[in-house]
Amino acid sequence: MTDEMRGPALVRDDAVTNGLRAIYAAPTEAAYWERLEQRIMAHIERGQEEGRWWALSERTYRYGMMAAGLILILAGSVYLRSRAVESQMAYESVIETPGADQPVYARRLPLDERRATLRAATGH
């Protein structure tokens, strides 16, 4: 077996690592953070004047509520349908009912007293 099956060897490259650290390092000067805070606060104040900038519009809220209602209706109907199927299966497992594959040939009429006695005596 050869070493080709192991895949590429990992090589440590300190120059690239240091370069990436310099690019992605957080700014150290305090002026950057103060400007960032001022921009955020100005955006919040401007949002309070225009209406809540973080809130949903009435139209978006309405569509979201309609979608949530439809999902609840769909989930409820699926749940009720599964319960109906489960109860039907439980009923059929206890009581034998002729299904589509089992034909019903004849039904007996109620026996009168004489025939019932004869059947009990002869076993037919």
What is residue 107's predicted lDDT score, i.e. its pLDDT? 63
Q: Is residue 106 part of a domain?
A: no
3-27 pLDDT, tens digit each: 567 777 788 889 999 999 989 998 8
Domain with 29, as residue range(s), is 12-55
Q: Is residue 7 part of a domain?
A: no
Structurally, the chain folds into a number of domains equal to 2
The helix/strand/coil state of 37 is helix
What is residue 76's predicted lDDT score, i.e. its pLDDT? 95
34-64 pLDDT, tens digit each: 999 999 898 877 766 555 656 677 788 899 9
Q: Is residue 40 part of a domain?
A: yes
Q: In this structure, are residues 71 and 79 in contact, taking their beta carbons and an 8 Å threshold? A: no
The helix/strand/coil state of 28 is coil
